[in-house]
Amino acid sequence: MLSPKLRANLIQLALEARSRAYCPYSRYQVGAALLGANGVIYGGCNVENASYGGTICAERTAVVKAVSEGVRQFSALVVATANGGSPCGMCRQFLYEFAPDLLIILIDAAGIVRAEHTLRQLLPYGFGAANLE
């Protein structure tokens, strides 16, 4: 369970990350604030590319930043969009690799919580390491 202060901090950082999004094609700004098990918050924004396949979502940006610093366990993620949009399928799968029970909080541009789910609720039959055995 997140304390009210930590929840507010995650929401604020997700909104700040959203403001840094590079999205000249979709114009759909996304920001993410990912709480590592070490207590550190990793921010991310979407970064689009003229070659659309080269685009990376905010959620994956935050995970890549954390993993590149040695963190592989996460407890919460706040995603900020204009309308409280949910992570795409690729992001759900990417997150599942590290945190199948991740708490995901979806907020709109005003910082209002629109939904709150676990990753297992958003990806009930996720593919993980156990599937490779």
Is-catalytic flag, 116?
Answer: no
Both tokens assigned to 82: 């204009």
Please report, for residues 33, 52, 126, 127, the alpha-carbon distance to residue 131 in angstroms, rounded to integers and kept in the order given: 28, 30, 9, 6
90: domain CATH number?
3.40.140.10
CB 58 within 8 A of CB 46: yes
Q: How many domains does the chain have?
A: 1
φ and ψ at residue 9, rounded to 5 degrees = -65, -45
The full DSSP string for 58-126 is HHHHHHHHHHHTT---EEEEEEE-SB-PPPPHHHHHHHHTT-TT-EEEEEBTT--EEEEEEHHHHSTT-
Considering the candidates 59, 69, 97, 133, report the single residue annotated as catalytic. Answer: 59
pLDDT tens for the chain, residues 1 to 133: 899 999 999 999 999 999 999 999 999 999 999 999 999 999 999 999 999 999 999 999 999 999 999 999 999 999 999 999 999 999 999 999 999 999 999 999 999 999 999 999 999 999 999 999 9
Which helix (DSSP H) or strand (DSSP E) does residue 34 occupy?
strand 31-36
Distance CA 115, CA 86 (A): 9
Q: Which residue range(s) make up the domain with 14?
A: 4-132
- Considering only the C-alpha atoms of the chain, give the largest distance between any 2 of them, rounded to a whole number of Å: 44
Task: Note the pLDDT of residue 1.
Answer: 80
